Amino acid sequence: MASAAQIVVMVALFVLWRERGMGFLKAFETCLVIGVALYLVLFGAAAIILVVSRLEPVALLVGPAIRLVSLIIYATLRFGQNVHWFKSLLILFVLYVVAWFMVRRIERHARRRFGW
């Protein structure tokens, strides 16, 4: 499924660039955001399946959820509010760093609690 998503994103890049008249960098950025969102959705679905089958604790679902939310915030700022790409990328970086620290802390606590 992930391989098919990559092909779809490449076709979308070509269509946006050639058929829609969008600049290549703008089309690339749009497809990159969509591709990362697809990846995070697939990763989140896998995490949900692992939690439902009781192979991982519920606390480990926080990582994919926070990453998806930070990507949605970036896309909203960049495409909805027309914030400059550098400012949007800086905000995304800060959100990812904060999410990384939060997820590490939650994972460490969950691993200690469940004896991993």
Burial class (CB in 10 A: 0-12, 13-18, 19+), 40: buried
Residue 87 scores a pLDDT above 80: yes
Q: Averaged over 56-65, what is the pLDDT?
A: 71
Rounded Cα distance, 116 and 104, in Å = 14
Residue 39 scores a pLDDT above 70: yes
Residue 55 scores a pLDDT above 80: no
Read off the amino acid at residue 107.
E
Residue 84 scores a pLDDT above 80: yes
Residue 80 scores a pLDDT above 70: yes
Residue 78 CB coordination number (10 Å):
21
* Residues found in the chain: 116
- Interhelix angle 24-52/2-14, rounded to 10 degrees, is 160
Does the predicted model carry a pTM greater than 0.75? Answer: no
Q: Averaged over 62-87, what is the pLDDT?
A: 79
